[in-house]
Amino acid sequence: MIPIALDPRFARLAVVGTGERAARRLAALRAAGAADARGFPDAAIGADVLASLHALWIVDVPSDAARALAQRARAARVLVNVEDVPALCDFHSMAEVRRGDLLLTVSTAGAAPGLARVIRGHLETRFGAEWGERVAEVRRLRADWRDAGVAPVETARRIAALATERGWLA
């Protein structure tokens, strides 16, 4: 697996499926910035729609229909995630904690999603809402230092010192 943080403004995303889990997946994509993410109630989506996508989540679709849709999507060069069927996945969704621009993720590569949820719960208690403002503050400082010509290595040292001085990770 290759961990990446994808800016959803540059990707066409969709969810196929009905029910609570499909609705949650679509809502999570939209909450992460994929305002144009599309939802489809069943696997009978056309080739033109598939060809327009970059990534597709298939959720709570009967296994034969999910497998067939995954094959069609791959043939159209679309990355596929069939929820809870790791063997049919090109990628795995990660358990996540968002605090402003801070994004913490946990993945077990689909092997143990329940464990990823437990770890996410632990991170949620360790990284509260204050982390959103901390990241915003560091962003401002970093921009000021860059404008002043501070070298990236020195900027990293200053950020580490700030986190230590304020006890952010203590």
What's the pLDDT tens digit per position in 106-132?
999 888 989 999 999 999 999 999 999
30 domain residue, yes or no: yes
- pLDDT for 143 equals 98
- pLDDT for 110 equals 83
Per-residue pLDDT for the chain (170 aa), expressed as one digit of tens each? 788 888 998 999 999 998 999 999 999 999 999 999 999 998 889 999 999 999 999 999 999 999 999 999 999 999 999 998 989 999 988 889 999 999 999 999 888 989 999 999 999 999 999 999 999 999 999 999 999 999 999 999 999 999 999 999 99
> Which of 93, 117, 148 is the C-terminal boundary of a domain?
93
- pLDDT for 15 equals 97
Q: Do 15 and 89 share a domain, yes or no?
A: yes
- pLDDT for 2 equals 84
Any idea what the Cα angle at residue 31 is, between residues 132 and 88, rounded to 5°? 115
113 domain residue, yes or no: no
Q: Do 81 and 31 share a domain, yes or no?
A: yes
124 domain residue, yes or no: no
Facing residues of 57 across strands?
15, 81
23 domain residue, yes or no: yes
C-alpha count within 13 angstroms, C-beta hemisphere, residue 144: 8
Averaged confidence pLDDT in the chain: 94
Q: Do 88 and 145 share a domain, yes or no?
A: no
Contacts of 156 (CB under 8 A, 6+ apart): none
Domain count within the chain = 2
Residue 100 — left, alpha, or beta (φ > 0 → left; ψ -120 to 50 → alpha)? left
What's the pLDDT tens digit per position in 12-28?
999 999 899 999 999 99
Q: Do 25 and 70 share a domain, yes or no?
A: yes
Q: Do 82 and 135 share a domain, yes or no?
A: no
Which CATH number belongs to the domain containing residue 75 in this structure? Answer: 3.40.50.720
Instruction: Determine phi and psi for 96, rounding to 5 degrees.
Output: -135, 150
Give the DSSP H/E element, type plus range, for residue 136.
helix 130-147
- pLDDT for 73 equals 97
Among 32, 31, 30, CA closest to 14: 30
Domain span at residue 89?
Answer: 8-93
> Which of 93, 112, 138 is the C-terminal boundary of a domain?
93
- pLDDT for 111 equals 87
170 domain residue, yes or no: no
Q: Do 20 and 66 share a domain, yes or no?
A: yes
Q: For residue 14, count other CB atoms closer than 10 A to its CB.
A: 24
Q: Please tell me the pTM assigned to this model.
A: 0.84
